[in-house]
Structure 1
């Protein structure tokens, strides 16, 4: 039983299956521009939550949970395993539609920090603290820390939903925030999924004995979603001759009845060419017959299997060979097994009973994504990688998906191969059992591993597209390490800036890490600081009670960072950023003096640096927003502050400081 995320990519064109239990959604990681990540993490997270909301059926008690959320900003959600409690928590947060803040998962014991840290909560954040699987000690510590966390949530006008362990205790002072939910009616969840699969209601409202038996077992939410998806596939394979009852009967038996039959079929099909066709059909199930044919031939080449020397016209044609393994092309030319779920049983058999061929299966999969055939689409490539990743996850080898991604990202790497590498690692990161271990491995690689080939690009994409939507703090740390190692192009730094732009809390945290928490900032940290310390973002409250520039902690970070900039790098490098700073001051209204003061404070009493700032202001006057006159006014105001910093009388403020001297480094 599971209440969290799992990942499947069986039907990338739309929702696969999900419900109040496990959320299963498409991993769509097309590369697009190789130098850029995909959609923003905030958009990805919102899209995932939107999909869940479409699939969601309210469990009993959901209305009370909503009222509690709105009244107190905190809900401690309690429910039995398999009741859909984590999905309910996500929906409670998604429904808020906050203009500020982001959705985040808090993970006690990982990198985000203690729950008592006030910096953990940003304005308007929607926080999920999932402790459904927590042990007794972890749950006890969390209850101790909840008061401090709730205080921060209230102060920041955020919202918090805690999923507590089913057998966990809750003290009296926390009971007012508790909401109990119970699983929704199985049949309603099942029908919601069929509606999302666009199956007409007049079909699924009919009686089906197999469905009645399934409902009577009160299965976990994830099993309901899987069952609905099998019904969809049974209907697609036999839309005319069978009815709803038969589709349900086929779906009910599919998961468990084919293992022995597959073993017998493989034992019977001794010829390498037929076994290759069987494997290719299972891995490429639903693909065009041409793709299946090319896939089987590819496996034979990889295994260096001698070709059949019989004349081509004397051999069996593809249709006959497919019939021998229980498959056939449909009217659209796409090949499927006659029996529902048979393809999964075949994949499991080859992986489990031919372990010496697993490395070859890896090679075949990545080469399969690169086959030159008009019928090979992005959807098919994604599905192929997912089916291989399923074997790793099913057999307890989820962490090895990272090493598979590393192998696939080696030079030379085609676009399809990089997509495959990203998709394989994404499947592991989304898995509940391996996500934490893989995030740690990604951190170690970003921080210190020699990144050969295109591995840096793969890590960048999984940070932005997979980790950042739910764990932005962890993604920020990893992107920072990648950005520090960049030379020339700066895709990781660009992604880091984009991530910081999604949340004032993230920008504040990153500025703090780059300055005050770094005893000896490196030249790379200085370069990152100039990009992250954007004056427009610092002066825009973005819905918060006050902008970052008015916070004492941010003030200290900015002064420290600019002091490092002004003393450690050449004026030619920092001048464009200083000009942007001065131009922002032209239109910053009440924040004009604060922006100028921060630069002057960073320069200290160093006359050479103050003179350099003055000359920069003069150079920025012609391009100032509002014209040269406004730029000149900013220069004059800056000069007044420089004079004050140097202890000069007000009358001396009209005299420019001495020309800049050479900065000692």
Structure 2
């Protein structure tokens, strides 16, 4: 029996405990395939790890025939993973993948989705209760017909407790759990661990009650066990990993029974949070915890105490050659859960402890993020969402890098949580309207791009728009980010949404945003479209109204934006559209004069480019009922 690691990509963990690899982008905005386009690496992972449950080929045949399937299965059966597999890109569905949030209070509905040919749409209703589902149910059948007409594809996941409507029955398919041992083998193979033999009965026993989502956790624990004990075999590594998954309160209670002193328990908790990280950091964290709890200070006689290795050995931990904390048995997660559950009165104090850790200690970003992530897991597990949101805001209010990074890690955890993600997106919306600090504003902008921008692009845009309406540095950062997001949206969905918001919910800052983020070349682009965006009647009206507000407010950069429109009109087909929109914008003499003067200045600056300026002014005069006299440039 043997196992080998082949073609490892990215960060490779080489010790016990959890490893959190967070790639940080502070200056560059990641390039996406378009609004709502999840990274195709997500589907690469699905294709590598997915093991077909019984009846899956029949479900594939159903989506080929009907373009839509409705999955019904119990929680933990792998419904979402199966849905992603069904919506993987293919020659028959090459379009963008997106997962709209239905019934979220963010003006998203199935009836309002603009489905394009080849799109792949996941509609996950599985977390809805019966009342929420009843509100959405009438939209399902029209949505199905829209998808079929557009020759797109969609998978809808039903709530477990809700029954489908009679009209849907021909596209409803039950989904069952795959064989856990075979799925486990497939997961291991996806990370290069070639398992010749595993403890099949033990895996079956664990997954009798555990959700299939545990497979990913089990896979990572096997890698940790292999790295810690490379001389063992696959069966032993699986056994160690399962022990870590099952490690529970009895073992931790036995440890705590032996650790009577508060100093010992503080080090135990700190070590569980720092496991795999700095041993010195864990020691410092234990001291800060005692100070936060106002323990009486001991006389500073370090030589009268046991050394750190001996103190760690009391609960089965030690220090490796890199001075990292390592537990001999994978108990760190169980220790965190036990102490969080066993000492609820300490939770608020623990939040103050987390905020105090970096004040007198220069810890690494990796340790800061590791501690934040593990602390956040306990909040999410016990549904302490309000206190977690407060901690995010407090950490982001700091001027130091580490707390702001911790705030982002916590927010990312919340946004990606299957049960609490919607609540955290709502919290982002509340914050974006009035962020209490610039640090939190930065965290929100980054979360819009890196976390929800791909999976919930409409919601990301709404939050960025609120932030862009702020004055100062955060408003400018959000505006720059909006411009990048709109430029990457090849389907132009986000431009429509932004224009709609500017017209229906205007704000004094909107003209400044408009001149900075709207690219006229995108508005007249025909590529892959039946007609340019600017030719759509609603969009044309919205653009004219946006220009009307711009001519009235005259924000910084408005003349440069007008120049770019006139340049696009001079150099590209579709010029008539842009000129018509500009001509419809003025609603008084002052605005007409302002537009006239700016167009003349633009033509003069270009050495006599009067044809576009003449055409614009003729349209303006026609719109206002005036006669037109062509201008001539002077040498």
Q: TM-score range with shorter-chain normalisation? A: 0.7 to 0.9
Q: Equivalent residues in 2 for 1:36-55 (5 A)?
A: 45-55=39-49
* Aligned counterpart for 2:378 among listed residues 378, 391, 399: 391
Deviation at 1:401, TM superposition (A): 1.1
| In the alignment, structure 1 residue 618 sits paired with structure 2 residue 587 | no
Q: Equivalent residues in 2 for 1:347-386 (5 A)?
A: 347-368=336-357, 377-386=364-373
Cα distance change, pair 12–397 in 1 and its aligned pair in 2 (3 A): farther
| In the alignment, structure 1 residue 346 sits paired with structure 2 residue 330 | no
CA distance in 1, matches of 2:100, 2:56: 20
CA distance in 1, matches of 2:393, 2:510: 27
| In the alignment, structure 1 residue 77 sits paired with structure 2 residue 71 | yes
Cα distance change, pair 66–156 in 1 and its aligned pair in 2 (3 A): same
CA distance in 1, matches of 2:98, 2:540: 27
CA distance in 1, matches of 2:149, 2:501: 23
Deviation at 1:582, TM superposition (A): 0.4
| In the alignment, structure 1 residue 580 sits paired with structure 2 residue 580 | no
Secondary structure of residue in 2 paired with 1:654 = coil
Deviation at 1:533, TM superposition (A): 3.5
Aligned-pair RMSD on alpha carbons? 3.5
- Point out the more displaced range, 164-173 or 385-394: 164-173
* Aligned counterpart for 1:481 among listed residues 466, 470, 478: 466
- Assess if the C-alpha contact under 8 Å between 1:107 and 1:129 holds in 2: yes
CA distance in 1, matches of 2:555, 2:358: 49
Q: Spell out, residue by residue over 1:248-278, the C-alpha distance to the aligned partner (whole angstroms, 9 max, x if none).
A: 3333334445423322322322334332321
- Report the equivalent of 1:5: none
CA distance in 2, matches of 1:487, 1:212: 56
Q: TM-score, normalised by structure 2?
A: 0.86
Q: Equivalent residues in 2 for 1:492-511 (5 A)?
A: 492-501=478-487, 502=489, 503-511=491-499
Secondary structure of residue in 2 paired with 1:336 = strand
| In the alignment, structure 1 residue 442 sits paired with structure 2 residue 436 | no
- Assess if the C-alpha contact under 8 Å between 1:399 and 1:438 holds in 2: no
Deviation at 1:103, TM superposition (A): 1.5
- Assess if the C-alpha contact under 8 Å between 2:285 and 2:357 holds in 1: yes
- Assess if the C-alpha contact under 8 Å between 2:48 and 2:187 holds in 1: no
| In the alignment, structure 1 residue 30 sits paired with structure 2 residue 14 | no
Deviation at 1:399, TM superposition (A): 3.1
Cα distance change, pair 169–306 in 1 and its aligned pair in 2 (3 A): closer
Q: Equivalent residues in 2 for 1:596-607 (5 A)?
A: 596-604=579-587, 606-607=588-589
CA distance in 2, matches of 1:171, 1:482: 41
Deviation at 1:583, TM superposition (A): 0.7
CA distance in 2, matches of 1:632, 1:416: 56
Deviation at 1:343, TM superposition (A): 0.9
Q: Spell out, residue by residue over 1:92-112, the C-alpha distance to the aligned partner (whole angstroms, 9 max, x if none).
A: 334248776452323135323
Secondary structure of residue in 2 paired with 1:523 = coil
- Assess if the C-alpha contact under 8 Å between 2:540 and 2:581 holds in 1: yes
- Assess if the C-alpha contact under 8 Å between 1:480 and 1:496 holds in 2: yes
- Report the equivalent of 1:239: 230
| In the alignment, structure 1 residue 322 sits paired with structure 2 residue 305 | no
CA distance in 1, matches of 2:404, 2:533: 39
- Report the equivalent of 1:21: none
Q: Spell out, residue by residue over 1:197-251, the C-alpha distance to the aligned partner (whole angstroms, 9 max, x if none).
A: 433x2xx3225365355378374311333333333333333322x4333333333
| In the alignment, structure 1 residue 250 sits paired with structure 2 residue 240 | yes
CA distance in 2, matches of 1:572, 1:345: 57
- Assess if the C-alpha contact under 8 Å between 1:31 and 1:419 holds in 2: no
Deviation at 1:46, TM superposition (A): 4.2
- Point out the more displaced range, 163-172 or 257-266: 163-172
Q: TM-score, normalised by structure 1?
A: 0.82
| In the alignment, structure 1 residue 635 sits paired with structure 2 residue 635 | no
CA distance in 2, matches of 1:586, 1:154: 41
- Unmatched runs of 5 consecutive residues or more in structure 2: 1-8
Q: Equivalent residues in 2 for 1:10-29 (5 A)?
A: 13=11, 28=22
Secondary structure of residue in 2 paired with 1:127 = strand
* Aligned counterpart for 2:442 among listed residues 452, 457, 473: 457
Q: Spell out, residue by residue over 1:610-641, the C-alpha distance to the aligned partner (whole angstroms, 9 max, x if none).
A: 343233223223666xxx46x33212322332
Cα distance change, pair 544–164 in 1 and its aligned pair in 2 (3 A): farther
Secondary structure of residue in 2 paired with 1:277 = helix
- Report the equivalent of 1:3: none
CA distance in 1, matches of 2:19, 2:493: 28
Query: How many equivalent pairs are there?
Result: 616
- Assess if the C-alpha contact under 8 Å between 1:295 and 1:368 holds in 2: yes
CA distance in 1, matches of 2:612, 2:262: 79
* Aligned counterpart for 2:389 among listed residues 388, 402, 411: 402
CA distance in 1, matches of 2:117, 2:457: 15
- Report the equivalent of 2:6: none
- Assess if the C-alpha contact under 8 Å between 1:186 and 1:218 holds in 2: no
- Report the equivalent of 2:102: 107
- Assess if the C-alpha contact under 8 Å between 2:279 and 2:319 holds in 1: yes
- Assess if the C-alpha contact under 8 Å between 2:126 and 2:157 holds in 1: yes
| In the alignment, structure 1 residue 208 sits paired with structure 2 residue 199 | yes
CA distance in 2, matches of 1:216, 1:423: 30
- Assess if the C-alpha contact under 8 Å between 1:123 and 1:505 holds in 2: no
- Unmatched runs of 5 consecutive residues or more in structure 1: 1-10, 17-23, 658-665
Q: Spell out, residue by residue over 1:296-343, the C-alpha distance to the aligned partner (whole angstroms, 9 max, x if none).
A: 344344445455546544532222222122112235443222222x11
CA distance in 2, matches of 1:29, 1:307: 40
* Aligned counterpart for 2:532 among listed residues 547, 572, 585: 547
- Report the equivalent of 2:630: 654
* Aligned counterpart for 1:181 among listed residues 172, 175, 182: 175
